[in-house]
Amino acid sequence: MPSDGSGRQPKYQRIAAELKAAIRSGRYGPGDRLPGENDLMAAHGVARMTARQALGVLQAEGLAEARKGAGVFVREFRLIRRRGIQRLAADVWSQGRSIWAADTEDRELVVDFLSATDEPAPSAIAVVLGLAEGARACVRRRRFLLDGKPVLLATSYLDAALTAGTAIAEPDSGPGGIYARLADLGREPVRFREEVRSRMPTPEEADRLGLVPGTPVVLVCRTAYTADGHAVEVNEMTLDASAYVLEYEFDAQ
Amino acid sequence: MPSDGSGRQPKYQRIAAELKAAIRSGRYGPGDRLPGENDLMAAHGVARMTARQALGVLQAEGLAEARKGAGVFVREFRLIRRRGIQRLAADVWSQGRSIWAADTEDRELVVDFLSATDEPAPSAIAVVLGLAEGARACVRRRRFLLDGKPVLLATSYLDAALTAGTAIAEPDSGPGGIYARLADLGREPVRFREEVRSRMPTPEEADRLGLVPGTPVVLVCRTAYTADGHAVEVNEMTLDASAYVLEYEFDAQ
DNA sequence: AAGTGGTCTAGACCACTTT
DNA sequence: AAGTGGTCTAGACCACTTA
């Protein structure tokens, strides 16, 4: 064995590295079909499982996507930009250029309302909302679809004692949404906290979002506070990480 | 085949589901060793590859971690809370309870300075900083270690024409860090934008962060703006997603 | 020394998609 | 009908960890 440098590397990693290099070089572009298991077996003289392992590396990295019966394809990404503050008025900094391109325009992001129910509040939620253990919550579930594909699941929790009999407990919360209704009740949210995490999805999340294997989810938990510092709403969101860029702005100090 | 419900599911998924249920039930806690390949082969009468596949499911989900020669273990998570605004003074909302527990206390988060060099600015960075194509940038690389394990890689870019001859171009940027030095130059950052994404790591990122397979990275790109709206610094950060919760606060409207 | 996970072979059958 | 990826078997050798 000569001083090969790349000598001591598993075959499947060598094959995977070769495919990745071919993608980087532009040999295969987004949406293109990659060499399949049979191609790799023939080209590299390996067993089926080894070729599978190589293709599995690209899929686990989120670079490629297997379509049963069709082949393995280079993935394409189109990012949605989600701003913490939905401020349309342009200020001086909004002019600044962004790192990651995101074409929010010319694409349809539709909201799919799922349900508004009255349920016992999960204990973690009850703590944040300042409710007694076992208190009931108004739970509103929504789903966001981009070009028909689900990209965000949202579950919103409010104190059921507060929302009972209001439009917040109804499927259609009326003009301005639930924040306008909370304002009607003298509980207008004036400040938000968002906590952001990321991890691999549970099988159920992957199913509900139609996630390609190798795609993480981003978890955003937004808490809305009234002027007197009380939390009035907790909104747990699960995002397709391959579809979103989150954006936050804040002042120094 | 009776109306079994779970009848038509691959064996490896059935085995994986059984292991996951056992973890949820508390049968196996964080750090515990799971049944190995040999155990699963014997218990379920399957081939080695099938047992491996089942354990691979848990690893891909980030629930378990294989240690070569030792076994497969339930992962344990300890989250660091990272605030967009590092405001120590408690305001009324800081009292609010958080969803995810994070023990920043009693753990050592140390900064490991890597380098400060003068390099051609990557074109995406040059655009954001308003530099000419091919202009040079001051590039500062750092690494954050939690209990000795790297959890964050940061690369900071500034206009080299601005920083030349200042402490910013030196390894030690002096008291108050580079923001204090920028203030000395009349370029104090007063506002920040952070863009946040998540994806699976490249092999190089996984290696540099020592990531367990099944762990995504969070990418945070922070741009610092002066009062006149010019970008003075771009900081690209790569975070171990299993180690961090990001937190942002902002006012309505 | 024994046990563990990591890699690899050479077969096989299936469900699925495409032509 | 042909080709594709998904699942599965029954072996094998290796490097590594633990005791």
Residue A60, chain B, CB below 8 Å: the answer is yes
Please indicate whether, in this complex, the C-beta atoms of A191 and B253 are within 8 angstroms of each other.
Answer: no
Please indicate whether, in this complex, the C-beta atoms of A245 and B197 are within 8 angstroms of each other.
Answer: yes
Residue ranges for chain A with pLDDT beneath 50: 1-7, 87-95
Strands (E), chain A: 64-67, 71-74, 80-83, 109-120, 136-146, 149-159, 189-199, 217-226, 231-240, 244-251
Mean pLDDT by 10 residues, chain B (253 residues): 48 93 93 93 91 93 92 91 62 52 65 89 94 94 89 96 91 82 90 94 90 95 93 96 92 77
Q: Find, in chain B, the residue whose alpha carbon is nearest to that of A216.
A: B199
- The tokens describing B89, both together, are 């003074």
Distance in Å, alpha carbon of A115 to nearest chain B alpha carbon: 23
Distance between CA atoms of B186 and B153, rounded to whole angstroms? 28
Q: Are B137 and B120 in contact (CB under 8 A)?
A: yes
Residue A131 burial by CB count (10 A; 0-12/13-18/19+): exposed, middle or buried? Answer: buried
Q: Is the CB of A48 under 7 A from strand C?
A: yes
Query: Can you give the pLDDT at residue A64?
Result: 95
Helical ranges in chain B per DSSP H: 11-24, 37-44, 48-60, 123-129, 160-163, 177-184, 203-209
Please indicate whether, in this complex, the C-beta atoms of A199 and B190 are within 8 angstroms of each other.
Answer: no
Query: Can you give the pLDDT at residue A216?
Result: 96
Q: Across the interface, which of A193, A201, A246 has its CB nearest the CB of B247?
A: A193
Q: Across the interface, which of A100, A188, A200 has its CB nearest the CB of B62?
A: A200
Query: Can you give the pLDDT at residue B7?
Result: 45
Query: Can you give the pLDDT at residue B85?
Result: 67
Distance between CA atoms of B35 and B109, rounded to whole angstroms? 34
Nucleotide C8 C1' to residue A169 CA (A): 59
Query: Can you give the pLDDT at residue A129?
Result: 95
Domains of chain A: 11-74 (1.10.10.10), 80-247 (3.40.1410.10)
Phi/psi for B165 (5° steps) reads 80, -5
pLDDT tens string A63-88? 999 998 999 999 988 888 888 765 43
Query: Can you give the pLDDT at residue B146?
Result: 87
